[in-house]
């Protein structure tokens, strides 16, 4: 159902300039979201989310090419606000969560671009790995209640589910799936 994740899936998906070189951050899933959008019957957009995901990011403000991202999403955590549909999406017809329990992204390179950083990496879903690119936007920096360093990022990108072998209901659901990630990350 996805091809340029980040991140996230899958993902992903997460790059931001840090206060110091090579800072490591962990995604705070309590204050983050991984949402997807697909078109149904070529009429209306439908939204869903994944509730269980994790990720780490190494950021280097002085040299964004040293930035690294790893994200993992638990397929069984898919949530479309309809249990029957969620069970079908977890089935072999779609994600096959029993056989392929995660969607993952691991960056291979990063480059500074206007308004953020573009990450290129390998996304694995439904047992197939494809190269994906995603642009990451910095949404803010600050301190948490306990004084921890925080950074926020957002990414919206589109993948093709058929690139990962998810081809069921091609007339009912669009091949293109838009992924939207809003991530709050805590410095390790």
CATH number at residue 133: 2.40.128.110
Give a yes or no: residue 2 inside a domain.
no
Report the alpha-carbon distance of residue 70 to residue 76 in Å, rounded.
Answer: 19
Find the largest Cα–Cα distance for the chain.
51
Classify residue 1: in a domain, yes or no.
no
User: pLDDT tens per residue, the chain (188 residues)?
Assistant: 444 443 333 333 334 433 446 789 999 999 999 999 999 998 999 999 999 999 998 887 778 898 888 999 999 999 999 999 999 999 998 999 999 999 999 999 999 999 888 999 999 999 999 999 999 888 989 999 899 999 998 998 899 999 998 887 777 889 999 999 999 999 99
In a domain, 113, yes or no: yes
Quote the domain boundaries for residue 109: 7-187
Quick check: is 95 in a domain? yes
- pTM, two decimals, is 0.83
If one counts the domains in the chain, the total is: 1
Q: What are phi and psi of 118, to 5 degrees?
A: -100, 125
């Amino acid at each position: 159902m996805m091809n340029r994740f980040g991140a996230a899936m899958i993902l992903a998906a997460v790059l931001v300039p840090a206060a110091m070189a090579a800072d490591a951050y962990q995604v705070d899933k309590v204050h983050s979201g991984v949402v997807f959008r697909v078109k149904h019957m070529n009429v209306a957009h439908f939204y869903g989310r994944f509730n269980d995901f994790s990720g780490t990011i190494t950021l280097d403000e002085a040299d964004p090419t040293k930035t690294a991202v790893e994200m993992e999403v638990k397929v069984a955590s898919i949530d479309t606000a309809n249990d029957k549909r969620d069970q079908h999406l977890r089935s072999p017809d779609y994600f096959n969560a029993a056989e392929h329990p995660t969607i993952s992204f691991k960056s291979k390179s990063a480059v500074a671009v206007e308004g953020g950083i573009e990450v290129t990496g390998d996304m694995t879903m439904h047992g197939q790995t494809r190269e994906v690119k995603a642009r990451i936007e910095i949404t803010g920096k600050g301190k948490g209640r306990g004084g921890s360093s925080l950074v926020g990022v957002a990414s919206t990108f589109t993948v093709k589910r058929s690139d990962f072998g998810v081809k069921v209901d091609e007339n009912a659901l669009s091949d293109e799936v838009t992924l939207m990630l809003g991530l709050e990350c805590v410095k390790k």
